[in-house]
């Protein structure tokens, strides 16, 4: 009886699965999804190789400092970095004094000690990066009705994060003629910018990096081309999203070594225990 019951239950699930698959395939054939510009012209991120890639990845601090410089001088006008405190920058190789100077260059929310009214004051090492806009309404008003997202976790929030940011920054271009021919209604609306790496192809962010040398790098660094600045700021955003990446890699490596050691030990004790026992 139990056997028949289990066969029936199994049969029920098999039929249900086959039915839903068949139905899906039928709709796909009879009503194929409409071709859209997003579907045909969206591109996957370009290749980007960073020192922090892979299980043995380490941060290239020189590059992170350059990336920070790009964030500070360009992106911070619109994007916050709310999860990062100024003192965290010491991990990039800045001294305590340099961190204090950097912090003091930002205005953070404060309170007037005599009246108790909200005001702003220069940042200190323990403050977090301030928001560039007072609130979302102000952010939208200044950015064509879009809010520039916080960048702290952007490298984790998007698939292929660092490569995506790099592609986005270097991907602004004119709308391809074929797109307009095929989808005349998909013209980039006024105030938006065509970028095939953005999911819906039209981005409210104007190209932030437009000219080589927009940020001046110190001696001993590569030329600040748009390409290089985009790579550097992407590398920096990998750090902001996961500052403990190196530590995680090291721990993972130690754990794997230990597991190999434990396996060898287990095998040896197994041999030892069964040594001399006849089959």
Q: Which residue ranges make up the site for ligand HEC (CB under 6 A)?
A: 70, 74-75, 77-79, 143, 146, 148-149, 154, 158, 165, 168-169, 203-205, 208-209, 233
Residue closer to ligand HEC, measured from CB, 73 or 112: 73
Distance, C-alpha 205 to centroid of its chain: 17
Exposure string of 107-124, with b = 16+ CB inside 10 Å and e = fewer, is: ebeeeeeeeeeeeeeebe
Own/partner contacts of 220-225, CB < 8 Å, gap of 24 or more, are 221/62, 221/66, 224/66
Length of the chain measured in residues: 279
- End-to-end Cα separation, the chain, in angstroms: 41
CB of 89 to ligand HEC, least distance (A): 17
To ligand HEC, the closest distance from the beta carbon of 16 in angstroms equals 38
Minimum distance from CB of 184 to ligand HEC (Å)? 22
Which of these, 173, 142, 174, 161, lies nearest to 233 by C-alpha position? 161
- Specify the residue, 124 or 214, whose C-beta has the smaller distance to ligand HEC: 214
Pick the closer one to ligand HEC by CB: 70 or 179: 70
Q: Which of 58, 119, 77, 82 is nearest to 243 (CA)?
A: 58
Tell me how far, at minimum, the Cβ of 140 lies from ligand HEC, in Å: 9
Which residue, 103 or 205, has its beta carbon nearer to ligand HEC?
Answer: 205
Identify which of residues 77 and 268 has a Cβ nearer to ligand HEC in the complex. 77
CB of 69 vs ligand HEC, minimal distance in Å = 11
């Amino acid at each position: 009886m139990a056997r028949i019951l289990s066969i029936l239950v199994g049969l029920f699930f098999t039929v249900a699965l086959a039915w839903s698959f068949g139905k899906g395939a039928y709709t796909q054939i009879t009503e194929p999804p409409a071709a859209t510009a997003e579907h045909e012209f969206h591109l996957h991120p370009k290749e980007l190789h960073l020192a922090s890639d892979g299980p043995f990845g380490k941060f290239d601090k020189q590059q992170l400092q350059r990336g920070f410089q790009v964030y500070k001088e360009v992106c911070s006008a619109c994007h916050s970095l709310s999860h990062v405190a100024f003192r965290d920058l010491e991990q990039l190789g800045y001294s305590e004094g340099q961190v204090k100077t950097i912090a003091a260059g930002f205005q953070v929310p404060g309170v007037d000690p005599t009246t108790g009214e909200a005001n702003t004051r220069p940042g200190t090492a323990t403050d977090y990066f301030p928001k560039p806009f007072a609130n979302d309404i102000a952010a939208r008003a200044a950015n064509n009705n879009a809010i520039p997202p916080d960048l702290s976790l952007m490298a984790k929030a998007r698939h292929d994060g660092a490569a995506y940011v790099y592609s986005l920054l270097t991907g602004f271009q004119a709308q391809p003629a074929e797109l307009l021919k095929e989808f005349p209604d998909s013209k980039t609306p006024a105030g938006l910018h065509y970028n095939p790496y953005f999911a819906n192809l039209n981005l409210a962010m104007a190209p932030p990096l437009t000219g080589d040398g927009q940020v001046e790098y110190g001696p001993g660094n590569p030329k600040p081309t748009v390409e290089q600045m985009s790579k550097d700021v992407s590398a920096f955003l990998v750090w902001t999203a996961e500052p403990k990446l190196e530590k995680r890699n090291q721990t993972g490596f130690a754990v794997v070594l230990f597991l190999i050691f434990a396996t060898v030990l287990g095998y040896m004790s197994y041999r030892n225990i069964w040594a001399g026992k006849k089959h």
